[in-house]
Structures are given as structure tokens and as C-alpha cells.
């Protein structure tokens, strides 16, 4: 059996609800979606995140349990709400307003370390949004260093929550990088058809 199938991928980052103007709320966040889909493919990811001690946080944990996911590495924060992104759609194009000071901005390093005490791990995945806050960024950097796993970076450039130095630093450490053409243009500060 390959290492990937016999060990657990570590997924670090935000879980949140996309809330639309009509009140509809959709569970997501790129790291959460990756963990969810890996579980669907039969893997057992360790999903490290934080939710608020609120209805949305309980909905996240309930959905994870219902899908057979391990919730042991999802911290419950009684000071900050479960993540929310306000989504509006104009002319078929979505616009995202990512709220700050959400539970996933405060992922505890000591609690994350504890959730990884025992086990074999295959890869470490995170997105760029999780590095926007000091506490989660510090936890991210510590885990990245201590785990020493091959790194998968999911570049999600959401203004104003990124800076090119942090993103390029992560890319330079990564074995795999996912980004779209718009994000590539933003990082390179030029269009793809430039000479």
C-alpha cells in the first residue's frame, strides 16, 4: 500500500459558511472542502481548524460526523464566531467579503500539536488565507516545520488578506501548488499574454 493510502493527510485551514444575500448558507472553505473530498475518496484526513461555540460551529461538527470525519483536531473557540463569508453575485460574478476575527484565525498551536501526537502522516495541505492572522500563521509555520511533510499550497488570493512575500515564501517550500490564471497574474503583476 502506498504511503498516501496508509497514512493520513494533514489539512490545515479555514472552515466557514458562504452566506448569500437570500440567506442561504453553504458550508465550505477551501481546506475544509479538500478534507471533505479526501474522506469521500476513502482517506482519513486530519482536519485542523477552529469553529465558534455557536450554532454554525455545531453544524460544522455535525456535518463532519455525519460524513464520518474525525473532529478531534477542530478546536471550539468560545471567543470568536465560526467563519462567515458574505457572498453577493452581480452579472453572474461572485464577490466575497471575508469577515475577520473568525474562529479559524485563532487556531491554537498547542492544541494542534496535541492532535498530531500519534499517527503517520503523508502530506501537509494549507491555503494562503489561513496565514492572514498572527495566531493561525504562527501555528501554521510551526506545524509546517515540525511535520516536515511534502507541502501542498492552495493559493486563494482574497483582497485584502494576502501579501506577495508570504505567498511566494509558501510557494517556494511547496511540492505542489494550485492556483488559477487570475491569481498567477496577480502574483506576477502582469497578464499572461504579456511578453
Per-residue pLDDT of 100-152, as tens digits, reads 999 999 999 999 888 898 889 999 999 999 999 999 999 999 999 999 999 99
**Chain segment 117-130, per-residue pLDDT in tens:** 888 999 999 999 99
What average pLDDT does range 28-54 have in this prediction? 98
Query: Could you tell me which residues come within 8 angstroms of residue 8 by beta carbon, excluding any fewer than 6 positions away?
Result: 43, 44, 45, 46, 119, 120, 121, 122
Q: What is the pTM of this model?
A: 0.90
CB 125 within 8 A of CB 29: no
What the chain holds in terms of domains, given with CATH numbers, is 3-188 (3.40.1190.20)
Amino acid at each position: 500500500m502506498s504511503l498516501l493510502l496508509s497514512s493520513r493527510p494533514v489539512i490545515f485551514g479555514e472552515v466557514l459558511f458562504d452566506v448569500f444575500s437570500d440567506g442561504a448558507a453553504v458550508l465550505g472553505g477551501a481546506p475544509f472542502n479538500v478534507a471533505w473530498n479526501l474522506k469521500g475518496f476513502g482517506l482519513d484526513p486530519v482536519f485542523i481548524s477552529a469553529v465558534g461555540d455557536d450554532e454554525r460551529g455545531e453544524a460544522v461538527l455535525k456535518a463532519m460526523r455525519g460524513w464520518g470525519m474525525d473532529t478531534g483536531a477542530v478546536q471550539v473557540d468560545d471567543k470568536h464566531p465560526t467563519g462567515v463569508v458574505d457572498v453577493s453575485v452581480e452579472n453572474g460574478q461572485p464577490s466575497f467579503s471575508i469577515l475577520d476575527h473568525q474562529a479559524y484565525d485563532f487556531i491554537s498551536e498547542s492544541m494542534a500539536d496535541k492532535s498530531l501526537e500519534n499517527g503517520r502522516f503523508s502530506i501537509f495541505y494549507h491555503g494562503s488565507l489561513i496565514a492572514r492572522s498572527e495566531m493561525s500563521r504562527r501555528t501554521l509555520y510551526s506545524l509546517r516545520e515540525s511535520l516536515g511533510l511534502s507541502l501542498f499550497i492552495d493559493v486563494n488570493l482574497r483582497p485584502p488578506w494576502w501579501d506577495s512575500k508570504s505567498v511566494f515564501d509558501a510557494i517556494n517550500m511547496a511540492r505542489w501548488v494550485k492556483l488559477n490564471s487570475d491569481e498567477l497574474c496577480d502574483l506576477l503583476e502582469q497578464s499572461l499574454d504579456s511578453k
